[in-house]
Structure 1
Amino acid sequence: MTNYAAQGKTRPKNVIHLNSCFSHVSYYTCLSRSASATGTIIVQGFESSV
């Protein structure tokens, strides 16, 4: 789901790939979609071919 599609939605588990964020607004949108901090899972350097 893109950060624009995620706007206005709250998810119990929120898996995000911060390398795809291109501005501070994108970071805020991605990081603020989970219902709690424990529901936020940050994936960095994910290789999509695996």
Structure 2
Amino acid sequence: MADVWDAHWYGSTKTLDVHVAALRRKLAAAGATPEITTLRGYAYRLESPADA
């Protein structure tokens, strides 16, 4: 989160979750094949079906 928001940003920790969920919905609505995979407690990863 510090790479996207200021390291001193104070707010809900769910902000990133909400943004990723919206991006997942938009990818699905567009029929895109890449998926956003959650690496719990670490990061998110954009994967194509060939990566899985």
Give the TM bin, normalised by the shorter chain: under 0.3
The TM-score, its normalising length taken from structure 2, stands at 0.24
- The higher relative CO (CA closer than 8 Å, separation ≥ 6) is in 1
> Which protein shows a greater Rg?
2
The TM-score, its normalising length taken from structure 1, stands at 0.24
Q: Which has the higher helix share?
A: 1
